[in-house]
């Protein structure tokens, strides 16, 4: 009954992206201000959900050059590079090759793929050096950002043009084919500022020429990727109370992959993959008064993937034919949204608004059709923050959404924060969220054709009629700080129940007589059952002196599945490491020198389709850098060692991440 009352209370409201004026110092105090949990600027002690803040110091100290690696700094997250320029990520398990249960935003622009639900990290035209901070909301947040904000929300906030004036040139060189070059120019003056960034990156992902272990996937995959991009941002202060922001980005990627052995499947896997992406984004922000401001935003994104169409001779049992491989994929999203922030009384404020999306997908091999599929999403949201007492903060919100596959759903949330004593806050929260099926889950009909154009193999049949996945999440949180110790602590205990879990189900008989297939496995997507998860996580930040900065986290996860597909009942409980932890420590030695150490531990886990069981591992990275002035130019030199211990497995047990070292040199003037 208590949960039902909380959910009904949450129908009163819903959310958008924080507009309040926030200074840079707000993000680096002991208890910083964050924007993503409710679309209102709030100290982390006031937020209605657990949040991890990754700031510029942590990004630099980590030595990471790939944005998904930064999620290793967040409790409960598992991260792995899969193949074909794809990253996998899981929060409390359920991680597969597509990371389809997260909403990922860059300056309010969603990069969630409508085809697989994947996050195309490698095609994101964004440099580490241009990131202001990353806020990760740990747990469902559909009341704020809509369907697919199911497990977590990752909000990447970039630097304004005014923050990066002047020139920057940076290069990286290292083992495993690592090469990188970044050039940035920031210009303009007064009310008008702009920046342009160009980057060229390449690297090998895994060890080559290592024979597969017995009873593992056939073949040792190797990966080599090249990514080039250019992006730009313009910030124009029209009046003291209004401004315009415009952005664009273009990406070109070249991926190469292979296997040390060729079997029936790897013969059909393209050895080269080209990708292209671009986006345009425009936002107008208006401060009407001290009590009201609003923002309207529009953007368009497009991603294209193309593995060269070719004919592969294939022999499988008694089957022998030429098979056409064509992995062309085109997907896009167009969006316009409005957000209004209002302060009604000193203790009562709200944010409300709406959003319209159109998504398109075209992939002949994935849908056995040459047509472009389209769908529209409409959303209305609101979120209310009310302080009835100086020690009590009540927040409620909801998102009403109409999705092109699943119709109308409402995602409510309510949370109550109690300040037990100053700087020590308890949080009780409950929320409901949905994940709508992707185009491929709902309409996928994956086939292979022979060179005459006839279907010779079907791997995914179209089923349709899927219900959205639904999660009920309850949490107890604590945020505290000890000023004398310069220590901040965040604890989260949670219990989640997922219904209508979407998974692959075998067609029976498999394959049916009316389906062309030369292999005895044909699947379709279906709502196959439920998943329960509970556990806890802890994160801390300790800055005892201006020279020492330590962040650390620990997570423990328990999963249980009740599905109609037997292998999911064993795979899902193993899809999260039971125990995992990580720590990043940075020390400033003086005279421009600083060093950092990152350590990570993970228990074994089972990555869902098409991943493997990967063994427990410990990873240790070291970063040493020095900054100095030379003829009016700021110079930074650094050396980074990654995974200085034993090789470990990522996603597949044949993907071995080994020790690697790179150096970087940067000039800024």
pLDDT of residue 397: 95
Of 268, 365, 259, nearest in space to 315 by CA: 268
Q: Alpha-carbon distance 234 to 194, whole Å?
A: 4
Output 48 or 12, whichever has higher pLDDT: 48
State the pLDDT at residue 514. 77
**Total residues found in the chain within this entry:** 669
| Rounded average pLDDT over 19-36 | 57
Cβ count near 302 (within 10 Å): 15
User: What is the Cα–Cα distance from 21 to 65, expressed in whole angstroms?
Assistant: 30
Residue 388 has pLDDT above 90, yes or no: yes
Residue 357: pLDDT band with limits 50, 70, 90: very high
Radius of gyration of the chain (CA): 25
Q: Which of 227, 91, 86, 109 is nearest to 157 (CA)?
A: 109
**Residue 253 to residue 227: CA distance in whole angstroms:** 4
Going by C-beta distance under 8 Å and a sequence separation of 6 or more, which residues neighbour residue 505? 523, 524, 525, 526, 528, 564, 565
Of 143, 146, 133, which is closest to residue 49 (Cα–Cα)?
Answer: 143
Q: How many helices (H) and strands (E) does the chain have?
A: 6, 39
Tokens 């991890």, residue? 52
Mean of pLDDT values over 56-70: 96
Distance CA 210, CA 649 (A): 13
Q: State how beta strands 660-668 and 633-642 pair.
A: antiparallel
Q: How far is CA 537 from CA 32, 36, 100, 231, 326, in A?
A: 20, 20, 22, 37, 44
The sign one gets for the Cα dihedral 110, 152, 86, 61 is positive
Alpha carbons 34 and 597: distance in angstroms, whole number: 26
Q: Count the alpha carbons within 13 Å of 507 in the hemisphere toward its beta carbon.
A: 21
152-158 and 102-106 strand pairing? parallel
Q: In whole angstroms, give the CA distance from residue 168 to residue 187.
A: 12
pLDDT of 273 strictly over 90: no
Domain that holds residue 619: 2-208+216-668
| pLDDT, tens digit, 9 for 90 and up, residues 626-656 | 999 999 999 999 999 999 999 999 998 888 8
Is residue 490 over pLDDT 60? yes
Q: What is the Cα–Cα distance from 242 to 296, expressed in whole angstroms?
A: 12
Residue 9: is its pLDDT beyond 60? Answer: no
pLDDT of residue 27: 41
Residue 329 gets the label, from left (phi > 0), alpha (psi -120 to 50) or beta, of beta
> Which CATH number fits the domain that encloses residue 62?
2.40.170.20
Which contiguous run of DSSP H or E holds residue 143? Answer: helix 142-145
pTM: 0.92
**Angle at CA of residue 620, ends 615 and 623, nearest 5°:** 150
Residues with Cβ within 8 Å of residue 21, at least 6 apart in sequence: none
Read off the tokens for 16: 């958008």
Strand, coil or helix: what is 183? strand
Q: What is the dihedral of CA 101, 103, 104, 108, to 10 degrees?
A: 170
**Any idea of the CA torsion for 363, 369, 370, 375, to the nearest 10 degrees?**
-70
Cβ(461)–Cβ(454) under 8 Å? Answer: no
28: left (phi over 0), alpha (psi -120 to 50) or beta: alpha
Q: Is the pLDDT of residue 25 over 70?
A: no
Q: What's the pLDDT at 209?
A: 56
Number of neighbours of residue 194 by Cβ within 10 angstroms:
18
Average pLDDT, the chain: 90
Kindly tell me if the per-residue pLDDT of 6 is higher than 80.
Answer: no
Number of domains in the chain: 1
Q: Is the pLDDT of residue 3 over 60?
A: no
**Reported confidence tier of residue 529, pLDDT bands at 50, 70, 90:** very high
Q: pLDDT of 399-444, one tens digit each?
A: 999 999 999 999 999 999 999 999 999 999 999 999 999 999 999 9
């Amino acid at each position: 009954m208590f949960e039902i009352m909380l959910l009904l209370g949450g129908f009163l409201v819903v959310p958008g992206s924080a507009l309040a004026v926030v200074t840079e110092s707000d993000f680096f105090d002991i208890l910083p201000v964050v924007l993503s949990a409710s679309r209102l600027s709030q100290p982390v002690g006031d937020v209605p959900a657990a949040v991890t803040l990754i700031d510029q110091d942590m990004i630099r100290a980590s030595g990471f050059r790939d944005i998904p690696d930064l999620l290793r700094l967040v409790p409960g997250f598992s991260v792995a590079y899969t193949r074909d320029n794809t990253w996998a990520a899981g929060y409390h398990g359920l991680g597969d090759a597509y990371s389809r249960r997260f909403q990922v935003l860059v300056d309010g622009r969603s990069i969630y793929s409508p085809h697989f639900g994947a996050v195309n990290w490698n095609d994101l035209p964004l440099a580490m050096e241009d990131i202001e901070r990353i806020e990760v909301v740990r747990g469902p947040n559909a009341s704020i950002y809509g369907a697919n904000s199911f497990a977590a929300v990752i909000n990447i906030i970039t630097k304004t043009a005014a923050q990066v004036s002047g020139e920057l040139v940076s290069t990286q060189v290292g083992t495993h084919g690592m090469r990188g070059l970044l050039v940035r120019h920031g210009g303009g003056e007064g009310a008008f500022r702009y920046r342009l960034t160009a980057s060229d990156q390449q690297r090998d992902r895994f060890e080559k020429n290592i024979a597969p272990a017995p009873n593992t996937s056939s073949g040792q995959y190797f990966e080599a990727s090249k990514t080039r991009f250019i992006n730009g941002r313009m910030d124009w202060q029209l009046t003291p109370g209004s401004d315009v922001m415009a952005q664009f980005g273009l990406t070109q990627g070249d991926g190469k992959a292979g296997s040390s052995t060729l079997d029936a499947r790897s013969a059909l896997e393209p050895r080269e993959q080209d990708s292209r992406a671009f986006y345009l984004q425009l936002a107008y922000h208006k401060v009407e008064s001290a009590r009201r401001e609003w923002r309207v935003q529009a953007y368009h994104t497009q991603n294209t993937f193309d593995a060269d169409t070719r004919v592969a001779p294939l022999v499988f049992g008694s089957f022998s034919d030429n098979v056409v491989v064509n992995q062309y994929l085109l997907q896009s999203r167009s969006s316009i949204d409005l957000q209004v922030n209002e302060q009604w009384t000193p203790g009562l404020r709200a944010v409300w608004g709406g959003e319209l999306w159109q998504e398109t997908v075209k992939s002949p091999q994935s849908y056995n059709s040459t047509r472009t599929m389209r769908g529209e999403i409409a959303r209305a949201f609101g979120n209310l923050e009310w302080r009835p007492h100086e020690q009590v903060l009540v927040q409620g919100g909801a998102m009403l959404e109409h999705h092109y596959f699943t119709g109308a759903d409402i995602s409510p949330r309510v949370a109550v924060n109690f300040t037990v004593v100053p700087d020590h806050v308890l949080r009780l929260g409950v929320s409901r969220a949905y994940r709508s099926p992707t185009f491929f889950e709902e309409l996928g009909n994956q086939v292979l054709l022979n060179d005459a154009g006839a279907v010779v193999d079907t791997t995914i049949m179209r089923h349709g009629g899927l219900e959205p996945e639904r999660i009920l999440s309850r949490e107890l949180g604590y945020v505290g700080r000890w000023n004398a110790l310069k220590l901040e602590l965040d604890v989260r205990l949670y219990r989640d129940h997922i219904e209508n879990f979407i998974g692959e189900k075998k067609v029976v008989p498999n394959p049916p007589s009316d389906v062309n297939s030369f292999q005895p496995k044909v699947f379709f997507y279906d709502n196959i059952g439920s998943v329960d998860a509970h556990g806890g996580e802890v994160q801390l930040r300790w800055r005892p002196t201006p020279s020492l900065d330590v962040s650390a986290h620990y997570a423990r996860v328990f999963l249980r599945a009740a599905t109609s597909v037997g292998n999911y009942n064993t795979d899902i409980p193993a899809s999260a490491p039971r125990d995992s932890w990580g720590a990043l420590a940075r020390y400033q030695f003086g005279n421009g020198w600083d060093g950092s150490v990152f350590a990570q531990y993970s228990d074994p886990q089972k990555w869902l389709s098409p991943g493997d069981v990967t063994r427990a591992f410990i990873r240790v990275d070291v970063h040493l850098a020095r900054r100095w002035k030379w003829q009016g130019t700021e110079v930074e030199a650094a050396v980074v060692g990654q995974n200085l211990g034993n090789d470990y497995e990522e996603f597949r047990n044949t993907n071995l991440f080994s020790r690697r070292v790179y150096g970087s040199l940067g000039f800024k003037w």
